[in-house]
Amino acid sequence: MNDQQLEFFKRRLQQLHEETRAEIDAARVAIATADLHAADELDRAVAEEENRQSLRFTERKYLLLRKIQRSLDKIDDGSYGYCDVSGDPIGIKRLLLRPTAELSFEEKSRQEERERNFRKQR
């Protein structure tokens, strides 16, 4: 990957980092301001379920934030764009679709196939 491509992905990841951070902050505010003291039991159950979903959403965003930071660190150390398992190039098309990709298409396919086989054996 050349310097222009690395700079493009760095800017894209930084933008994704900012957007994800803003989504986390908005979810935090929504959770903090949630009204869980409704008089009706059904309303309270709905509010609690919405709160649980917001917490789950926020947790997933935190995981994404860590992956974004890992990808930015890889750009800095020169290992961005290479598969963590095989060391093969990941490919620009895959990185455009998923800038936080850590596995090449082939390795990800193998991993998913092993997961499917493991589930079938249970």
Instruction: Tell me, yes or no, whether 114 and 63 share the same domain.
Output: no
User: Cβ-count burial of 9 within 10 angstroms (0-12 exposed, 13-18 middle, 19+ buried)?
Assistant: buried
Domain at 12, CATH number: 1.20.120.910
Instruction: Tell me, yes or no, whether 18 and 76 share the same domain.
Output: yes
Instruction: Tell me, yes or no, whether 58 and 99 share the same domain.
Output: no
pTM listed for this prediction? 0.81
**In the chain, how many domains are there?**
2
What amino acid occupies position 118? F
pLDDT value for 116: 87
Instruction: Tell me, yes or no, whether 72 and 14 share the same domain.
Output: yes
Instruction: Tell me, yes or no, whether 29 and 60 share the same domain.
Output: yes
pLDDT tens, residue by residue, 44-71: 888 888 889 989 999 999 999 999 999 9
Instruction: Tell me, yes or no, whether 39 and 63 share the same domain.
Output: yes
Parent domain of 67: 1-80
**Average pLDDT for 93-109:** 94
